[in-house]
Amino acid sequence: MIKLLFATLAIVISAQTVFAGTAADVVPTPRPPTDLAVAYVASQPAPPNPVQMTETLKVGHTIPANLLLLPIPDSPDYAFVFVNQIRLIVDARTRVVIQVVD
């Protein structure tokens, strides 16, 4: 009986150690932009001198700091940018691409 108790206790302690984490370990997943935000970005004309990059940016990529992000009205958590003739919605805080707008 005591061996069973110690074995159970050891399993519980091991599980707590494996699954223990702090709030700093958790990376929040951005909510998808609203339909209104996507419609706004889709309606914006391409700039006269669009940014061209050799790298293809996709969802999850980080936009370089030297590129200007454009705000999306009524959606302060998001911004957008044109790269390689493609509209990208990004998290305004982290600059991570959230959605590609066709």
pLDDT beyond 90 at 14? no
Best CA proximity match to 82, nearest among 65, 61, 96, 67: 67
Domain membership of residue 7 (yes or no) is no
**Do the domain assignments include residue 68?**
yes
The model's pTM is 0.70
Position 57 scores a pLDDT of 87
For residues 79 and 70, the answer to whether their CB atoms sit within 8 Å is: yes
> Is 2 within a domain?
no
* Domain assignment present for 91: yes
Q: Is residue 20 part of a domain?
A: no
Within-domain flag for 8 = no
If one counts the domains in the chain, the total is: 1
List, in sequence order, the alpha helices (H) in the chain.
2-19, 35-43
Residue 3 reports pLDDT greater than 70: no
Domain-embedded: residue 10: no
- Structural domain range at position 35: 28-101
Check if the beta carbon of residue 97 is closer than 8 Å to that of residue 67. Answer: no
Supply the pLDDT for residue 18.
Answer: 43
Mean pLDDT within 3-16: 47
Q: Answer whether 80's CB lies under 8 Å from 41's CB.
A: yes
- Arithmetic mean of pLDDT, 74-81: 95
